[in-house]
A and B are shown apart, each in its own frame.
Chain A
Amino acid sequence: MPHQCTNCGRTFADGSKEMLSGCPDCGGNKFQFAPTTAATADTSDGASDTEAADAESTESGSVTSRATETVRDWITKDDDPMDGRNRQSPDPAVQSAPDGSSAAVESERSWPSNGGADTTEADGETDEQFAEWPETARRPENRTDTQTETIDESGDSERSHQRSDEPTTTLADNESSAQADARSEVISAGDLPTHTDGATVSDPRHGVDADEPTDATAGDDRPPEHGRVVSEPSGDRPSIDDLREELNKQFESIKIVRPGQYELNLMELYNREEYIISLQEDGRYVIDVPDSWRDGGDSDE
């Protein structure tokens, strides 16, 4: 159930059209997407990963999947964007998989029920959205750093049980059905357009479309490195070109370079069935409810 109404917490299956006319329960039009594949993490991956690739290429191809999981972490642990950062920094000593997993599960399960409490937050998010975003959503430079930290501190537990099959099975017992569903889609969702695997659709439009913005992003100044940098074993490291091509494929509809600076993938925007404004990188987005536009007073002004 990757889509959830931020107002009442109702969840929707991927591809559901129910929510296109607003949440049937509460009428809300703000939803969040719990990414089950790399496709959903693209908007945030793209910027930081490209920078990483261009700067030193210290990170291997797995960086995208790790970033995906990091975004997963934000979504599953981050009930409230304000609290998000505090929650993302658990005791670094908690590194063992069992502890980490159960913690993750706990917060995942508590997420839907907390949706109600989230309402006030969600309602207030209009023009002041930036102020409420996690710091990680603000600047690509910071994002890179924060992402690295997040991977170090909280990403490990999630990642470890993601990567190996055994913990996943045991974990499944503890999961809510919604989470189990979402998790199973990680494996079986072959119908999603973009995926972490490099060997998926090679769509020339993506290349053309995303090439320029990516290069532009690469030109951005990188801040001095501080904090911890994850350095992967360089065994099967793909070339920068491969990595960039992969990232271009994954560049989804709107990339936030920084607040006020956006790069848009027109084909992705056009190809979307639903009308999503994904200007936040923690998985939250707003969809337009067509009725509100059709009946709206804009045309009568």
Chain B
Amino acid sequence: MGLFTELKDSISRVTDRLFSEQEPKRIGIYGPPNAGKTTLANRIARDWTGDAIGAESHIPHETRRARRKENVDIERNGKTVTIDIVDTPGVTTKVDYEEFTDELDEEDAIRRSREATEGVAEAMHWLREDVDGVIYVLDSAEDPITQVNTMLIGIIESRDLPVLIFANKTDLDDSSVKRIEDAFPQHTTVPLSAKEGDNMDEVYDKIAEYFG
């Protein structure tokens, strides 16, 4: 993107901010690696802005820097809800380059691993500093009760942030939305397949309801 376009964009962003009633809420998309956060972020961004946010991959830790899409206007029932979407790196307590050596050479795997580690630090930092609400994405084919999920949702609760749990990958045979609902009964769980675009209407309804 050219300098002038960027400048124009940032000026128009500033004026948008000045004249809007309130700043768009910044919604962080969090979750463990490979849960489909970027696929979801891209789906939302494409549906409402036409652009994607970042590259998707079946190799975990594809997203290693937080990426943001600003001023995503979601229209629901005649009203428009404007949010900023932050797609964050997958959070984990352990990163091991050997996880990637099947598909990458060692040097790339080590670099990916280091960047992923930095990404987790960044994700945790923004969780503390910079999000107004959280979409917590889980792979519904995986066991949701993990240290990372419990801890992150605990942190989100302790900050009183509005949170929606997205049970992603409902297109998979092993998917179990109930398992996620049972694990976090205190929160609303929305089933979806970001990849297939299944149940996105409910997704946007809930986003508007929770973060509008």
Contacts and interface: CB of A to CB of B under 8 A. Distances in A.
- Please determine whether chains A and B interact with each other in the same assembly: yes
Interface size class of A (residues with CB under 8 A): 35 or more
Interface string A105-145: 00000000000000000000001001000000000000000
Contact of B93 (A127, A213, A288, A293): A213
Interface string A253-273: 110000111111111011110
Contact of A297 (B6, B114, B125): B6
B125 A275 contact: yes
SS class, residues of chain A in contact with chain B: mixed
Contacts of B109: 260
A192 B94 CA distance: 26
Contact of A260 (B9, B65, B96, B151): B96
Interface in B136-175: 147-148, 151-152, 155
B117 to A, nearest CB: 4
Contact of A298 (B65, B106, B114, B118): B65
Contact of A262 (B113, B127, B148, B151): B113
A260 B118 contact: no
Interface size class of B (residues with CB under 8 A): 35 or more
A273 B148 CA distance: 20
Contact of B110 (A260, A269, A295): A260
Contacts of B155: 270
A203 interface: no
Interface in B42-101: 53-54, 65-70, 91-98
Nearest to A300: B1
B17 interface: no
Contact of B127 (A270, A276, A290, A299): A270
Contact of A288 (B54, B120, B122, B127): B122
Nearest to B111: A127
A209 interface: yes
A186 interface: no
Given A259-B110, A261-B113, A300-B9, A269 B125 contact: yes
B45 to A, nearest CB: 10
A288 B94 contact: no
Nearest to A267: B151
Given A209-B151, A261-B113, A269 B121 contact: yes
Contacts of B190: none
Nearest to B65: A298
B53 to A, nearest CB: 8
A301 B67 contact: yes
Contacts of B69: 299
Contacts of A271: 128
A277 interface: yes
Contacts of B9: 300
A254 B54 contact: no
Interface string A203-245: 0000011001100100000000000000000000000000000
A265 B151 CA distance: 11
Interface in B114-132: 114, 117-118, 120-122, 124-125, 127-129
A75 interface: no
Nearest to B5: A300
Given A262-B114, A262-B117, A298 B67 contact: yes
Interface of A: 127, 130, 208-209, 212-213, 216, 253-254, 259-267, 269-272, 275-277, 279, 288, 290, 293, 295, 297-301
Given A254-B121, A261-B98, A266-B151, 20 more contacts: A209-B93, A212-B147, A259-B110, A259-B114, A261-B95, A261-B97, A262-B94, A266-B91, A266-B148, A267-B151, A271-B128, A272-B125, A272-B128, A293-B66, A297-B1, A298-B65, A299-B68, A299-B69, A301-B53, A301-B67
Please list the 5 inter-chain residue pairs (A to B) with the smallest Cβ-Cβ separation, ordered nearest first: A260-B97, A260-B110, A299-B68, A269-B124, A275-B125
